[in-house]
Amino acid sequence: MNRREHLAALLAVAAALLPASELRALEAKMEEAEPQYGLLGQMMAQPGKRAELVAILSEGTGAMPGNIAYLVGEDSANADAIWIVELWTSREAHADSLKLPAVQDAIKKGRPLIAGFGTRAEFKPVAKAGA
C-alpha cells in the first residue's frame, strides 16, 4: 500500500466518524504531516452516558500540538462503547498533550462517566517507500 492508499484507508475510517466539513480539514492535515504514532482504543461509558462522554472527549482537541487526527466514534454494537483513533507526529507529542490544561480538564470531567476500557493498541502508521 503506498502513502496515498494508506491515507485513503485512514480517511475511510474517519469518514465513518466525522461530518463532511471536519473530514475535509483532516484530509488537508494528513497531506501536510506524516503520522509517526497512533493509538486505537475502546472506552465504555457508564450506562446512558455515552453522548455526554463523547462531547467531553471532543472538546478542545483541535489545538493539540503534534496531533494529526483525534476521532471519536460510537460503537454500533454496544450502546455504551466508543472508539477513539489518534494520529500523532510522535509518541512524545501525544505524551505532551496529556499535560495541556484542556486535556486535563477533559480527563477530570470525563473520568466519572467512564465504566471501563476495552481493546487498546499503539501502532506506527506506515506507507511503502516511494509513496
CATH number at residue 114: 3.30.70.100
The kind and range of the H/E element at 39 are: strand 37-45
Q: Domain range spanning residue 28?
A: 3-123
Residue 21 lies in a domain: yes
Question: Does residue 129 fall inside a structural domain?
Answer: no
Is 62 inside any structural domain? yes
86 assigned to some structural domain: yes
Domain contains 63: yes
Classify residue 100: in a domain, yes or no. yes
> Phi, psi (5° rounding) for residue 69?
-150, 140
Domain contains 88: yes
- Please tell me the distance from the alpha carbon of residue 3 to that of residue 9, in angstroms, as a whole number: 10
Per-residue pLDDT 10s for the chain (131 aa) are 444 554 555 556 656 665 666 656 555 666 667 889 999 999 999 999 999 999 999 886 667 999 998 999 999 999 999 999 999 999 999 999 999 998 999 999 999 999 999 999 999 987 544 44
Question: Model pTM?
Answer: 0.73
